[in-house]
A = this chain, B = another copy of it.
């Protein structure tokens, strides 16, 4: 039994390590978008040039915060998911595809905010996060419907708590997506606000001392 336990504990460890790598690299690559303004004379012109780049910094911060919160969410899920199967691998791979894609719409929105093509750029940006929210849904649905993927010691109320808290993601990101066609600054603000919203500690299902966190 002890031996068995250990096997369970290790079964998702490589999927987690690999996902950590992808999340970490996607987050770090975002910095490549920040452009050093060239050939400026004097401190004030340099600071002004940086200030005029604010959409780039805003997009950087929003994407970093969003991927960061999603990494935390991924981490929490895998404190209750103790086993993997083939589909979990595939859904997780699809999720990671979307995560690695994030730097591209981030560049788009940084380039076009305040310009005439900003709606398309912003829609691609918040649309990406909407699909990521759906991918998280798929991942959790698959895991929670296959009870043997969930740790034996995980209480059913915890499973229900996660399912319940995951309801909000897709509609909220869908709202940001729709807002992109109306007001881009508002859509960006909502996207950033969602990262803050999801950063608020949950009713601590995954952190309960009663829950073995592997």
Contacts and interface: CB of A to CB of B under 8 A. Distances in A.
Interface string A184-214: 0000000000000001011010010000111
B204 A43 contact: no
A16 interface: yes
B116 A31 contact: no
Contact of A40 (B10, B27, B93, B117): B117
Contact of A30 (B71, B75, B100): B100
A71 B96 CA distance: 13
Given A36-B107, A107-B36, A117 B46 contact: yes
B201 A87 contact: yes
Interface string A19-43: 0111111111111101010101111
A212 B71 CA distance: 28
Interface residues of A, number: 75
B86 A43 contact: no
Contacts of A78: 14
Given A11-B213, A17-B17, A21-B23, 6 more contacts: A15-B75, A20-B21, A21-B21, A22-B24, A36-B108, A40-B112
Interface of A: 7, 9-11, 14-18, 20-32, 34, 36, 38, 40-47, 50, 61, 64-65, 68-69, 71-72, 75, 78, 85-87, 89-90, 93, 96-97, 100-101, 103-104, 107-108, 111-112, 115-121, 124, 199, 201-202, 204, 207, 212-214
